[in-house]
């Protein structure tokens, strides 16, 4: 039995990336994957960066302009058996993320928030807006927290964070529009909160922060 288990483990597809790499802003670095399998799939799990996979699929070229930590994921398969993902964390510059980028003027989400905000007559709305922006800034950190295994757990934590910081009768119309944006993550609370969904959640929270901070 032990020999059979060892044989199965030996035949399981595997891919290995370097655990950590350092890069300078705007510079190219090469990342090499090790695997006995023929083809390797790569994707960038977070951040605005470039990842170019070479034809052999054994190496990829990475570059990012902004400081921060970027997670690159690779996986392979043998027949119908997928490998476990391998993750490489690339620290660009000092690793500290840059400021939130203001929303594009053509962003329909930011434009809809601005339209709602302009007609909103609510005492203390500027202070409430600042609190809400901070909630979603913390939401970006929640998206990276590995203790959240499914989408429902992440959404519940975000909702609890908002309830702790901002009363339920504040900025209701703004929050309803934000809820529509968050709904693009999916409606199945049991969806696995994997790298791609985490990256999307973090990106949406960042867009929400940028749109809120742009409201005047």
pLDDT value at 93 more than 60: yes
Fold of 11-92: Immunoglobulin-like (2.60.40)
Which pLDDT band, with edges at 50, 70 and 90, does 7 fall under? very low
In tens, the pLDDT along 143-162 reads: 888 889 999 999 999 999 99
CA-based nearest residue to 35, from 88, 78, 70, 6: 78
Half-sphere exposure of 126 (CA within 13 A, CB side): 1
Q: What is the pLDDT at residue 208?
A: 94
**Segments making up each domain of the chain, as ranges:** 11-92, 108-213
DSSP for residue 184: G
Q: Is pLDDT larger for residue 106 or for residue 201?
A: 201
pLDDT value at 9 more than 90: no
In 16-166, beta strands by DSSP E:
20-23, 29-32, 40-44, 50-53, 59-63, 68-78, 81-82, 86-92
Which residues, at least 6 apart from 97, have a Cβ–Cβ distance to it below 8 Å?
Answer: 66, 67, 68, 69
pLDDT value at 120 more than 70: yes
Which whole number is the average pLDDT over 159-180?
96
Which pLDDT band, with edges at 50, 70 and 90, does 23 fall under? very high
Q: What is the pLDDT at residue 203?
A: 86
Q: What is the pLDDT at residue 106?
A: 72
């Amino acid at each position: 039995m032990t020999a059979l288990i060892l044989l199965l483990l030996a035949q399981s597809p595997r891919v290995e990336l370097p655990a950590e790499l350092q890069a300078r802003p705007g510079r190219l670095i090469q990342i090499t994957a090790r695997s006995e399998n023929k083809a390797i799939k790569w994707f960038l799990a977070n951040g605005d960066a470039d990842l170019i996979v070479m034809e052999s699929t054994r190496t990829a070229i990475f570059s990012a302009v902004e400081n921060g930590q970027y997670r690159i994921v690779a996986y392979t398969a043998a027949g119908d058996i997928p490998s476990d993902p391998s993750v490489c964390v690339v620290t660009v510059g000092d690793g500290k993320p840059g400021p939130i980028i203001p929303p594009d003027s053509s962003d329909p989400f930011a434009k809809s928030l601005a339209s709602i905000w302009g007609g909103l007559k609510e005492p203390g709305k500027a202070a409430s807006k600042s609190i809400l922006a901070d909630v979603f800034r913390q939401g970006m950190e929640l998206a990276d927290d590995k203790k959240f295994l499914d989408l429902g757990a992440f959404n519940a934590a975000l909702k609890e964070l908002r309830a702790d910081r901002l009363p339920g009768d504040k900025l209701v119309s703004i929050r309803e529009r934000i809820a529509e944006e968050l709904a693009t993550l999916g409606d199945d609370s049991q969806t696995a909160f994997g790298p791609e969904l985490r990256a999307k959640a973090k990106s949406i929270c960042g867009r929400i922060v940028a749109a809120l901070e742009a409201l005047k």
